[in-house]
Chain A
Amino acid sequence: MLNFVARRLLAILPVLLAVSLLTFLIASLLPGDLAYVILGDQATPENVAALRRDMGLDQPLWWRYLSWLGHVLQGDLGRSFRTGQTVLQAVAERIPVSLELMLMAEFIGLLIGVPLAIACAARAGGAFDRFMTGSAFAMLSMPSFLMAILLIYLFAVELRWLPATGYVPFTEEPLANLRFFVLPALTLALAEWPGIMRVLRSDMIATLQEDYIALAKAKGLKPARILFVHALKPSSLTLVTVTGINIGRLLGGTLIVESIFALPGIGRLLVGAIYTRDLVILQGVVLLVASGFVIVNFIVDMLYAVLDPRIRHGHA
């Protein structure tokens, strides 16, 4: 097992390095020279040249990358030119919001998706199964910005049950905090459950064909017990993968959802950094988020090993 962990960890390093290079290139190749952005209508050639010198923008790209990477390795991701905040400060302030949003969304998604998948698999091909498979398609094709506006209109403007926008920290007012998160998390979850349901449903149908299920049935076990105890765990390997990959998709979703619901999370930070060409924040946040994603998938790999002993012994 230790050997397995070490191998996976080694494989992460080149991935992280590639991530850092890509992040840097994407930020540097965005159209619009930073010096011009900062100077605005005062961007005379002399002013621009002076500012570029000050900011090191006149240095070659490879040199800028290496010097940035050097600082990153020392734990210094830099400072926003707009707010003076360091990347780590900015991320530390905002990551709890995005994590709470993603966890709630994933939780709601599983809460909807798993029971529906089991119900569909139990009577595969039945009327309910066909209806839910169709609905899942419909939900998947609904963009989250549209869903968000529909939910706001219904629950905030018409019914007045939930707030349209806003946030309070969980540590200040836990209940109010949850109220603020319901609609944004639901928006993301409504795009998540179809994937969860479809993956689990097909794995479950396959599992239910296995001989040991037939044996369990023959023994006279209750159908519910067979479904939840005997069939669910062996069917959830793909689900775990999907859940891990979903974190990446959810992160993408937070860009839109946090802006619409005015949640002060990582997504908003990124969107703001893109609009204002705050390259230091942009590079730093993308690097941290991508590293986080790599690490989540590393943990997912470890979970496989827990779920399926064949993987940890290298026989897969």
Chain B
Amino acid sequence: MTNLAAAARKHAPIFLVAAFTLLPPAGPAQAQKAGGSITVGQELDIPGFDPLKVGVYDTSTFTAAAAIFDTLTTLDEKGEAAPKLAVSWTHSDDYMSWTFKLREGVKFHDGTPFNAQAFKENFDRQKDPANKCRCAFYITNVKEVLAPDEYTVVYKLTDPSVNLPSVITIQSQNNAVHSPTAWKTKGDDYNRNPVGTGPYILKSWTAGDRMVLEKNPDYWNKGRPYLDRIILKPLPDAQSRFASLQSGEADIIWDDENDADNIMKAQKDSKLTVHTYKGSGAAVYAFNTKVAPFDDVRVRQALVMAIDRPKMSQAISNGLSRPATNPYGDGSWVKCKDDGALPFDVEKAKALIKDYGKPVEFKTLVTATPRGRMIGQVLQQFWKRAGANMEIEQVDQATIPPRAFMRQFQLIPWRIVDLADPDPQMYANFRSGSPLALANFADPELDRLLDHSRVTADPAARIEDYCAISRLINKEAVWFWTFQNTYYALSSAKLKGFPKMYNGVIDVSTTWLE
């Protein structure tokens, strides 16, 4: 079975990683120091942790979840799945079933043993239709989770997934493993009294103010974590959040490109460190190809070719935004020699619109925020130069998904988020018939490539598929990409060991103070 041999080769590094993480770090470049306390300035209030209550975690909740909970797998610095609560994994030939061997001897903070049964109970609770959990929508691709013995769990999928171990690494409502005893005994109060197996234990939490996390002395990964205490504080205002970092009240803060001025100030300050993570994915737009004028490929191509991304980046974020030419981005393992991106060419755009012959007039949805308006105005100017008249329709952020689902738009903004594997989002966004295939565009070759890439194990073959997909979409110009996802955190220069911000998550559970 060459397939099995290939799988074994593919997984060999994983077993090596498993062996290494159990050893103490040998001769590190920087000596990790134990002890100390840090304060994290977040953007939002954390609503809670019970998936049944909060439904979906936001970025601020992710940070706390990364400290309180563990997931089966985690992403290493290379972006590959590495062991956490699972020590090893195998899959069926058709990638419809994944078997995880669990770490033995792990206990939740309340003393409940972590085992396959506990994991299955977590999953079943979310999946149970009687619980009406909003979180269930995110695990529709998992038919069931089995617990054949104490330390084995099996994911049975409805669709093949060649990269499941890296897709389930995010500290999300679905992947964080909770203590079944805790949610059963605490009932309604569990939401604000979460219990996991993670490196930190929730000590106290004042609504809207601070969450105090204390080091878990019995953490399964001996010697970890380093910090004694982590304090999470919502600091909603960007200016005062940055001032709190400057004055030393916060040691690390969340930030984004909208706050370009402060990011640049921090870059010049020797007492501060700017952490940047160039994630995969991008800010994207979908044309409704069933509605004029976007039923004509010439119009779509013309609009894409009229966008001067570097100039746009300068206008919206002092040049911090990184232009995107495909849906994967520099942060993805999908690298294309040729992604088929259309060049920036105003003359060609004008010619295409002239060739189309009719006036090009349409509406674009933008979010009713200063940033949304600004982006809309910049695009409006670009397209005016090419001879197209765009009208800006400002809508509330919350109305964009329903307009998308009901296809009530001509041009709509969307986002491809940073995920370890392109399949979940590419399949949802481009496979004909998917509720999220916003462009209403169907192409047999595109469907074939999408179907093939999700059942192919060989990364090189998948890269070929995805690059062909990018070329096809770029040529047809049914969607276009403006800027790649870049995530920011600003910290005191003394904070060390901060990992990559996968999915934009600030994970301070492995950091230490110099």
Contact = CB atoms under 8 A, between A and B. Distances in A.
B240 A164 contact: yes
B208 A165 contact: no
A31 B195 CA distance: 37
A83 B53 contact: yes
Interface in B385-400: 395-399
Interface string A20-44: 0000000000011100111111111
Contacts of A248: none
Contacts of A41: 401, 436
Contacts of A57: none
B406 interface: yes
B236 A268 contact: yes
Interface in A1-51: 31-33, 36-45, 47-48, 51
A44 B399 contact: no
B243 A165 contact: yes
Interface stretch (B117-125, B175-183, B244-252, B290-298): B244-252
Interface string B41-78: 10011011010011110000000000000000000000
A47 B243 contact: no
A152 B191 CA distance: 34
Contacts of B50: 84
B20 interface: no
A84 B53 contact: yes
Pick the most buried of B41, B236, B397, B398: most chain A CB atoms within 10 A of its CB: B398
Contacts of A167: 209-210
Interface string A248-271: 000000000001111011001101
Interface residues of B, number: 47
B48 A260 contact: no
B150 interface: no
Interface string A74-88: 000000101111000
Contact of A165 (B56, B241, B405): B241
B16 to A, nearest CB: 37
Interface string B226-263: 00000001111101110110110110000000000000
B148 interface: no
Contacts, number: 136
Given A31-B395, A84-B53, A84-B191, A271 B236 contact: yes
Residue of B55, B208, B246 with most chain A CB atoms under a 10 A cut-off: B208
Interface in B194-217: 206-210
A160 interface: yes
A94 interface: yes
Contacts of A272: 44-45, 208
A54 interface: yes
A48 B402 CA distance: 9
A44 B435 CA distance: 7
A148 B401 contact: no
B247 A163 contact: yes
A84 B209 contact: no
Given A85-B207, A152-B239, A262-B235, A36 B402 contact: yes
Interface string B129-144: 0001010011000000
A161 to B, nearest CB: 10
A163 B137 contact: no
Nearest to A41: B401
B405 A163 contact: no
B398 A33 contact: yes
With a 10 A CB-CB cut-off, give which of B191, B250, B405 has the most chain A CB atoms: B405
A83 B435 contact: no
A212 interface: no
Contact of A262 (B134, B234, B405): B234
Given A82-B47, A264-B206, A31 B396 contact: yes
Give the one of B54, B233, B240, B397 with max A CB within 10 A. B240
A277 interface: yes
A166 B249 contact: yes
B191 A33 contact: no
A148 to B, nearest CB: 7
B374 to A, nearest CB: 19
B288 to A, nearest CB: 17
Contact of A164 (B45, B249, B406): B249
B137 A153 contact: no
Binding site secondary structure of chain A = helix
A264 B399 contact: no
A149 B137 contact: no
Contacts of A90: 207
A32 B41 CA distance: 29
Contacts of B247: 156-157, 160, 163-164
Interface in A154-185: 156-157, 160, 163-167, 169
A58 interface: no
A36 B134 contact: no
A93 interface: yes
Interface in A111-159: 148-149, 152-153, 156-157
A196 to B, nearest CB: 27
A171 to B, nearest CB: 12
B243 A32 contact: no
B494 to A, nearest CB: 17
A166 B401 contact: no
Contact of A260 (B233, B237, B395, B436): B237
Contact of A157 (B236, B243, B397, B399): B243
A67 to B, nearest CB: 20
A37 B398 contact: yes
B191 to A, nearest CB: 5
B188 interface: yes
Contacts of A47: 137
Contact of A264 (B56, B207, B240): B207
25 contacts: A31-B395, A31-B398, A33-B398, A37-B398, A40-B401, A44-B405, A44-B435, A82-B48, A83-B53, A84-B188, A90-B207, A93-B206, A94-B208, A149-B239, A160-B247, A164-B240, A164-B244, A165-B233, A165-B240, A262-B209, A262-B240, A262-B241, A268-B45, A268-B208, A272-B208
Given A156-B244, A165-B241, 19 more contacts: A36-B398, A36-B399, A41-B401, A42-B138, A43-B401, A83-B54, A83-B191, A83-B207, A84-B50, A90-B207, A157-B243, A163-B249, A165-B235, A166-B249, A167-B209, A262-B209, A262-B244, A272-B44, A277-B398
Interface of B: 41, 44-45, 47-48, 50, 53-56, 132, 134, 137-138, 188, 191-192, 206-210, 233-237, 239-241, 243-244, 246-247, 249-250, 395-399, 401-402, 405-406, 435-436
Interface of A: 31-33, 36-45, 47-48, 51, 54, 80, 82-85, 90, 93-94, 148-149, 152-153, 156-157, 160, 163-167, 169, 259-262, 264-265, 268-269, 271-272, 276-277
Closest A-B pairs by Cβ, 10 of them: A264-B208, A32-B398, A42-B137, A264-B209, A82-B47, A164-B243, A260-B237, A32-B396, A31-B396, A36-B402
